[in-house]
Amino acid sequence: MQLEKYKIDEANHQQLKDHQRKFDFVAGDVKNLDTILQKLIDFNIAIPSWALGTGGTRFGRFSGGGEPRSLEEKIEDVGLIHALNRSSNSISLHIPWDIPSNASAIKAHAAQLGLHFDAVNSNTFQDQPNQELSYKFGSLHHVDKAVRKQAIAHNIEVIKYGVELDSKALSVWLSDGSNFPGQLNMRGAFERTLESLQEIYEALPDDWKVWVEYKPYEPNFYSTTIGDWGQSYLLSSKLGQKAQTLVDLGHHLQGVNIEQIVSLLLMEGKLAGFHFNDSKYGDDDLTVGSINPYQLFLIFNELVEGMDARGMTHATSIGWMIDASHNVKDPIEDLLQSVEAIKIAYAQALLVDTPALVQAQQDNDVVLAQEILQQAYRTDVRSLLAEARLRAGGALNPLAVYRQQTIRQQLINERGAKAVSTGL
Ligand code: LRH
Ligand code: MN
Ligand code: MN
């Protein structure tokens, strides 16, 4: 299904007065208002194809119904999200969960909804039916060269699919690691991973990047071969300019200062981009901003400051993507909330009084520095986001329109109450 524009306009019309009052209240205090609104309009976040169904846990999956049954229907769902928020203009595919067998038709379908394709993700962390060799003991780091070759070939195949879709990056996450001390020679595993990645790197088109994602544990619980940003950074440095480190917010042990990692990777030109999500315990893949929105703001504060210092364009210099999926919310509502949380953090970071902060840092005025950051963080920027959406042709309140228009019910009518999508 598609959401007609006039329905969004009608809803906006009803909310306009209320919106204007809230917007005027906040906007009056904002310097560079139009520049900030334009930055918010330009800022888009990619939707992962695997987040459109109700996610599973190891212990069960409870589908809400009306889930997309095919890649075409997943694209339709992203189209709905984008029509509502005008901030989700791309989709990231995980292969083989979503194989674009007819790339030109898929591309045309997406383009018709104003969408394009973000990074393509390879998958060597599961065995697929009819796969010759198993990844039980790893893929790119495997002790058996034949397994490594199979995993390399898969990555190269994913690049080929990506080329057909006009993607510009391959995202690699490996579950390779060990569950028990002694199982693996860690140096050997790292060297074999590097060698395998070098072969994949060779197959990258000139205008492509490979994004190397890290994660400390799960599914392996003793060691992970690309377990932290240092290991990823080492690999991406050895590989070359086209390789960078991808930061998935859930892939850090508790208490790690993610914003500091982000700032240094950015400084070195090695920040590929993000998989946004939130977590309380581990790789929980919860809705962005649901647990620790202040951390998200601090990350954006580093991004805005670091990108401005390097003359980078916020909207397009790195990859912005959600990687969240779980089993109690309607996935479309969840994604609308995640995009909103990311843009709130971005807008707040844009409000930081940078010259004053620089001066406070220079004066070692710790109290004032904190006040400056929290002045921005505690500003309710939601009406700025709404105004940017309104100017971009989206809904003042995407979630409210989604519910008023009973979109999930229509999807259930169309696809069935038992439709379960592929993915996690
Ligand atoms: C691993 C991960 C990685 C995968 C995705 C499904 O935890 O974050 O990005 O590709 O989840
Ligand atoms: Mn991820
Ligand atoms: Mn993850």
| Domains of the chain and any CATH numbers | 44-341 (3.20.20.150)
Ligand 3: distance of its center to the CA of 401 in Å?
30
The mean of the pLDDT values for the chain is 96
Model ipTM value: 0.99
pLDDT digits (tens, 9 = 90+) for 231-265: 999 999 999 999 999 999 999 999 999 999 999 99
Task: Answer yes or no: are the C-beta atoms of 316 and 251 closer than 8 Å.
Answer: no
The model's confidence at residue 17, banded by pLDDT at 50, 70 and 90, is very high
Mean pLDDT computed over 70-97: 98
What pLDDT was estimated at residue 302? 98
For the stretch 108-164, pLDDT in tens is 999 999 999 999 999 999 999 999 999 999 999 999 999 999 999 999 999 999 999
pLDDT tens digits, 162-175: 999 999 999 999 99
| The pLDDT of residue 326 | 78
Average pLDDT for 69-77: 97
Dihedral pair phi/psi, residue 405, rounded to 5°: -85, 5
Strand 177-178 and strand 223-224: the pairing is antiparallel
Instruction: Tell which atom from ligand 1 comes closest to the C-alpha of 325.
Output: 6
Q: If you compute the radius of gyration of the chain from its CA atoms, what whole number of angstroms results?
A: 22
pLDDT in tens, 23-53: 999 999 999 999 999 999 999 999 999 999 8
209 sits in which H/E element:
strand 209-213
**Which ligand neighbours the alpha carbon of 275 most closely?**
2
Q: What is the pLDDT of residue 61?
A: 81
Q: What is the reported pLDDT for 424?
A: 66
Residue nearest to atom 9 of ligand 1 (CA): 173
Residue having the nearest C-alpha atom to atom 5 of ligand 1: 323
Q: Which of 5, 40, 14 is nearest to 26 (CA)?
A: 40
Atom of ligand 1 nearest to the CA of 50: 6
Ligand 1 center to 13 CA (angstroms): 40
Mean pLDDT across 209-233: 98
Pocket test for ligand 1, best of 172, 221, 248, 279 (most atoms within 8 A of CB): 248
pLDDT of 294 over the 70 cut: yes
Taking the whole predicted model, whether its pTM rises above 0.95 is answered as yes
> Closest residue (by CA) to atom 2 of ligand 1?
173
What is the band of 325 on the pLDDT scale with cuts at 50, 70, 90? confident
Ligand 1: lining residues by beta carbon, under 6 Å: 50, 121, 173, 213, 215, 248, 275, 283, 323, 424
Mean pLDDT of 178-194: 98
Give the residue from 235, 125, 238, 126 showing the smallest Cα distance to 174: 125
In one letter, which amino acid is 188? G
Q: Is the pLDDT score of 56 beyond 80?
A: no
The closest residue, in CA terms, to atom 6 on ligand 1 is: 424
- At a CB cut-off of 8 Å and minimum separation 6, what does 80 contact? 1, 2, 3, 332, 402, 407
Residue 134 tokens, joined: 């198993």
